[in-house]
């Protein structure tokens, strides 16, 4: 290939080959792939108006721009994709159960407790743990390891439930934002003396956005002024209708301090899981799961609590967990007791890792230490380069249109934050009233009063949502996080402005709708047989214009005989013409032989319908 000079730089151009680069790659990485000197790429970019150093990591757009300039097709690979490929290169598949349907065994549900502050989440988690401790003979001091498992009897069967010991939706959503789906079911705690509060609905939003079933624990029923029925009726507004009201959600009255109603709550969790979820995993494969908590212990080194999601983890196995690896030296349960193995849904503390993994990192068992080390090292290297890179911009109102056109997205998810609850509700109402037809869905997955928090941004990341701020701004580092993660935040102070803009984006999102426009009609007066051309209709144009090439249908006695025809030939006196107006006679060929005198030929076209 010729080497044209770009801004005075001699560089061999590609011929459209695909080049794969990881997100946050540097010009040096690019140069390596195409076998040129990195310095020359720096110069090319400089002439394109961007100044970067050879080792600095650059964003997706810049890589694409450079690729286009040099005639390479650049594919930027996401970290998740890369990790999958990395594991695949070791013949490991993460996230899927191995084997056939018959290898899957039921596994306990994993539950997160959420609710408004002071409604008793922590007390409830204590009560559940304690009730269960009494039931077991084995003593031991329970300690917080991030999750615990309890046993309850339902219909004569011993059933296990795993509780995540960090209450609240912050952790839940932060995990989801990292792609770790750990929670199967949410227990929503609502204090009976206080009712539904902002964080109650926030928690609800998070759970519903994740599509996780909810069991409601109506707490503090021992208190004076407790009104458990009110909680039930309040929550119907949010789509949680109690069974006794004809709905599907189980509500259980409990007192976390008196420890009453706990068994009923556990039963409700099991019943809801049985009814709504099909929780099964293969216990016989090599273990995989997620780290839910980790810290550095002075005496024991890195300690990580992992939740096994499939397979069974055994002491002595080699594991990788995020960028940490090692051999499982010991496993401890929530009572500080040693356990030799951990089946699906079992949380255990693992000792023996080389480093402290992050919450939400995946873990998996590999064949030997060497593989574990290689995977960990490659992840670390990748993480280092990715850290500097700007993250891919996520959904923005502007890109909705093209996302829709390419069929990528048919739903706009919004999180609405406002200064007072009245404005949030008004805005949500108005937005939901925008008539966008059936093709596009507008879903408000979160709403609340007050500044835009990190938590909102995390929810937006996890659910690919746009945040609408009405008279509010991001609090603390939320703005920074949003910017880094490319979350679109829209600020408004006038409601109709917000509605106009979102409506416009939604309409842009809509697939074009077509309607038929009638062009003309002609009555058949005579039928001519023309060799090779078939039957030609000698007609009188009754209305509009008959145009050659337009779509046509044949109507006999008011009934459509054939649709989907085309005006193939159109003649006036022996001459081919392109159109014939009403009142004139002509010969029309529609490629259809069964035509009769008195039939009507209608022509029409499909026009894009403007949205109203």
Binding residues (CB under 6 A) for ligand GDP: these are 115, 117-123, 167, 219-220, 222-223, 255-257
**Identity of the residue, 122 or 550, whose beta carbon is nearer to ligand GDP in the bound complex:** 122
CB of 121 to ligand GDP, least distance (A): 3
Round to whole Å and give the CA distance between 16 and 257.
68
**Identity of the residue, 190 or 320, whose beta carbon is nearer to ligand GDP in the bound complex:** 190
**Identity of the residue, 120 or 347, whose beta carbon is nearer to ligand GDP in the bound complex:** 120
CB of 171 to ligand GDP, least distance (A): 13
Burial of 181 (0-12, 13-18, 19+ CB in 10 A): middle
CB of 174 to ligand GDP, least distance (A): 18
**What radius of gyration, in Å, describes the C-alpha atoms of the chain?**
33
How many Cα atoms occupy the beta-carbon half-sphere of 64 within 13 Å? Answer: 8
CB of 223 to ligand GDP, least distance (A): 4
CB of 206 to ligand GDP, least distance (A): 15
Query: Which stretches does DSSP call E strand in 204-323?
Result: 214-219, 251-253, 280-281, 288-297, 301-310, 313-314, 318-321
**Identity of the residue, 49 or 225, whose beta carbon is nearer to ligand GDP in the bound complex:** 225
CB of 188 to ligand GDP, least distance (A): 11
What is the DSSP secondary structure assignment for residue 391, as one 8-state letter?
Answer: P
Whether 210 contacts 176, CB under 8 Å: yes
**Identity of the residue, 220 or 391, whose beta carbon is nearer to ligand GDP in the bound complex:** 220
**Identity of the residue, 202 or 488, whose beta carbon is nearer to ligand GDP in the bound complex:** 202
Round to whole Å and give the CA distance between 552 and 207.
53
**Identity of the residue, 256 or 313, whose beta carbon is nearer to ligand GDP in the bound complex:** 256
CB of 217 to ligand GDP, least distance (A): 10
Q: Is 154 helix (H, G, I), strand (E, B) or coil?
A: strand
Q: Which helix (H) or strand (E) holds 601?
A: strand 600-609
Within 227-333, residue ranges assigned H as helices are 228-236, 262-276
Would you give the distance in Å from CA 61 to the centre of its chain? 23
CB of 144 to ligand GDP, least distance (A): 13
Round to whole Å and give the CA distance between 150 and 265.
12
Whether 86 contacts 378, CB under 8 Å: yes
255 φ, ψ to 5°? -130, 115
CB of 221 to ligand GDP, least distance (A): 7
**Identity of the residue, 120 or 469, whose beta carbon is nearer to ligand GDP in the bound complex:** 120
Q: Classify strands 347-353 and 301-310 as parallel, antiparallel or unpaired.
A: antiparallel
**Identity of the residue, 79 or 167, whose beta carbon is nearer to ligand GDP in the bound complex:** 167
Length of the chain: 612
Maximum pairwise Cα distance, the chain: 105
By beta carbon distance, the residue nearest ligand GDP is 120
């Amino acid at each position: 290939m010729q080497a044209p000079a770009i801004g005075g730089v001699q560089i061999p151009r590609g011929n459209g080959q695909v080049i794969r680069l990881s997100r946050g790659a540097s010009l040096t990485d690019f140069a390596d792939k195409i076998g040129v000197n990195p310095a020359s790429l720096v110069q090319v970019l400089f002439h394109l108006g961007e100044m970067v150093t050879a080792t600095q990591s650059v964003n997706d757009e810049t890589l694409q721009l450079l690729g286009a300039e040099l005639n390479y097709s650049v594919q930027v690979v996401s970290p998740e994709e890369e990790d999958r490929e990395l594991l695949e290169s070791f013949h490991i598949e993460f996230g899927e159960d191995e084997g056939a349907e018959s290898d899957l065994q039921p596994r306990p549900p994993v539950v997160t407790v959420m609710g408004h502050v002071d409604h008793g989440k922590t007390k409830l988690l204590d009560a559940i743990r304690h009730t269960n401790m009494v039931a077991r003979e084995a003593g031991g001091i329970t300690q917080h390891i991030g999750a615990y498992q309890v046993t309850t009897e339902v219909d004569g069967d011993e059933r296990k439930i795993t509780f995540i010991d960090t209450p609240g939706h912050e952790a839940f959503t932060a995990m989801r934002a990292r792609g770790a789906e750990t929670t199967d079911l949410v227990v929503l705690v609502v204090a009976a003396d206080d009712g539904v509060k902002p964080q109650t609905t926030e928690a609800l939003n998070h759970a519903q956005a994740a599509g996780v079933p909810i069991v409601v624990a109506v707490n503090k029923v021992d208190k004076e002024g407790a009104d458990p029925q009110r909680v039930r009726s309040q929550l119907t507004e949010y789509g949680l209708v109690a069974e006794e009201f004809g709905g599907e959600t189980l509500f259980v009255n409990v007192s976390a301090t008196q420890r009453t109603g706990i068994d009923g709550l556990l039963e409700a969790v099991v019943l809801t899981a049985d009814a709504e979820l099909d929780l099964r995993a293969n216990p016989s494969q090599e273990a995989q799961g997620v780290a839910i908590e980790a810290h550095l212990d002075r005496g024991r080194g890195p300690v990580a609590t992992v939740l096994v999601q499939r397979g069974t983890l055994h002491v002595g196995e080699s594991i990788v967990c995020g960028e940490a690896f090692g051999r499982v030296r010991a496993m401890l349960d929530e009572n500080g007791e040693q356990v030799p193995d951990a089946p699906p849904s079992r949380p255990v503390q693992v000792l023996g890792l080389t480093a402290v993994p992050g919450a939400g990192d995946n873990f998996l068992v590999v064949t030997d230490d060497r593989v574990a080390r290689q995977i960990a090292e490659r992840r670390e290297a990748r993480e280092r380069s990715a850290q500097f890179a700007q993250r891919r911009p996520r959904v923005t109102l502007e890109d909705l249109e093209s996302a829709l056109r390419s069929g990528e997205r048919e739903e706009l998810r919004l999180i609405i934050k406002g200064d007072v609850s009245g404005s949030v509700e008004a805005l949500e109402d108005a937005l939901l009233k925008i008539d966008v037809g059936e093709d596009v869905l507008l879903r408000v997955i979160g709403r609340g009063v007050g500044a835009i928090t990190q938590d909102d941004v995390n929810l937006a990341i996890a659910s690919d949502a746009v945040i609408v701020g009405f008279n509010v701004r991001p609090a603390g580092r939320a703005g920074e996080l949003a910017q880094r993660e490319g979350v679109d935040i829209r600020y408004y102070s006038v409601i109709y402005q917000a509605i106009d803009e979102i409506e416009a984006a939604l309409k842009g999102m809509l697939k074009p709708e077509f309607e038929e426009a009638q062009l003309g009609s002609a009555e058949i007066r005579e039928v001519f047989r023309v060799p090779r051309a078939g039957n030609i209709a000698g007609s009188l144009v009754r209305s509009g214009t008959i145009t050659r090439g337009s779509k046509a249908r044949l109507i006999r006695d008011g009934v459509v005989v054939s649709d989907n025809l085309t005006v193939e030939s159109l003649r006036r006196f022996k001459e081919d013409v392109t159109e014939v107006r009403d009142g004139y006679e002509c010969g029309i060929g529609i490629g259809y032989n069964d035509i009769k005198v008195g039939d009507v030929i209608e022509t029409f076209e499909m026009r894009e319908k403007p949205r109203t």
